């Protein structure tokens, strides 16, 4: 806890004139997560794909069953869409045109979809999926914390909601009956 702390002017962050300076660091870190979370999802999908092709049940690899193929297809689609969004945001960033709510949209989408992919891959691995023999649950566990740090999924939802509606919903309206 920091309470009543006073610092000399020499301790000021060089070039910083407002809270925007430290917040811009968060924007950088969040942008990294847009790609990082998808990397975890890609590892999960590669492991699940390999396992589905080699694990034989009822005389066939489980990759031969339509339910497994649907899972793999849906995950590949979400991963591909996530990467395209990340790439697009990266190009906007390189051009110096990315807006904070776009970083929020990217972080929210990447982490949310990566967790969903990790969980789905876990089902393809069956019982083995709950062990640390495979990296999938380790990724899922890590992604749970990524959902919270660098801005919770709820906060990024509200950032995008504000960008769409112009109405900030971070605080409830003051109670008109209270004095
Ligand atoms: C692994 C890990 C590493 C971290 N690393 C760092 C770090 O390096 N630096 C750092 O400063 N912090 C770090 N954090 C802290 C992280 O930023 C906070 O945990 C996060 O901001 C949520 O704050 P909180 O835990 O106090 O939860 P709370 O603020 O109590 O929130 C609890 C829940 O309520 C929701 N909520 C809160 N207010 C609202 C609202 N107005 N509207 C809707 N929903 C709301 C939140 O989204 C969340 O779901 C880290 C956390 C984790 C798990």
pLDDT computed for residue 6 by the predictor: 95
What per-residue confidence (pLDDT) applies to 101? 96
Q: Which atom of ligand 1 is nearest to the CA of 150?
A: 17
**Residue 179: predicted pLDDT:** 59
From the CA of 147, how far away is ligand 1's center (Å)?
A: 9
Report the predicted TM-score, pTM, of the whole model to 2 decimal places. Answer: 0.89
Please tell me if the CB atom of residue 155 comes closer than 6 angstroms to any atom of ligand 1.
yes
Residue 178 is predicted with a pLDDT of 67
Atom of ligand 1 nearest to the CA of 151: 21
- pLDDT for the residue 74: 98
Measured CA to CA, the distance from residue 32 to residue 54 in angstroms comes to 34
Nearest ligand 1 atom, CA 153: 47
Q: Which residues of the chain have pLDDT under 50?
A: none
pLDDT at residue number 13: 84
Helices (H), 56-99: 66-94
Q: Is the CB of 69 under 6 A from ligand 1?
A: no
- Long-range CB contacts for residues 60-66, cutoff 8 Å, separation at least 24: 62/124
Q: What is the pLDDT of residue 174?
A: 72
Phi, psi torsion values for 57, nearest 5 degrees: -135, 140
Enzyme catalytic residues: 150
Domains for the chain: give ranges and CATH numbers: 24-163 (1.20.140.10)
SS3 content of the chain, % helix, strand, coil (to 5): 70, 0, 25
What's the maximum distance between 2 C-alpha atoms anywhere in the chain? 73
């Amino acid at each position: 806890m920091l309470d009543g702390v006073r610092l000399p002017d020499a301790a000021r962050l060089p070039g910083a004139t407002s809270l925007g300076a430290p917040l811009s660091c968060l924007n950088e870190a969040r942008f990294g997560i847009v790609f990082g979370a998808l990397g975890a999802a890609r590892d999960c999908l590669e492991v699940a794909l390999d396992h589905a092709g080699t694990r034989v049940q009822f005389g066939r690899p489980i990759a031969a069953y339509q339910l497994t193929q649907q899972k793999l297809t849906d995950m590949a689609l979400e991963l591909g869409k996530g990467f395209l969004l990340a790439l697009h945001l990266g190009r906007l960033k390189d051009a110096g045109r990315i807006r904070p709510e776009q970083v929020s949209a990217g972080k929210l989408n990447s982490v949310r979809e990566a967790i969903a992919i990790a969980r789905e891959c876990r089902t393809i691995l069956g019982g083995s999926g709950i062990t640390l023999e495979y990296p999938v649950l380790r990724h899922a566990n890590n992604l749970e914390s990524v959902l919270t740090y660098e801005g919770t999924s709820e906060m990024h939802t509200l950032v995008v909601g504000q960008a769409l509606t112009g109405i900030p919903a971070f605080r409830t309206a003051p109670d008109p009956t209270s004095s």
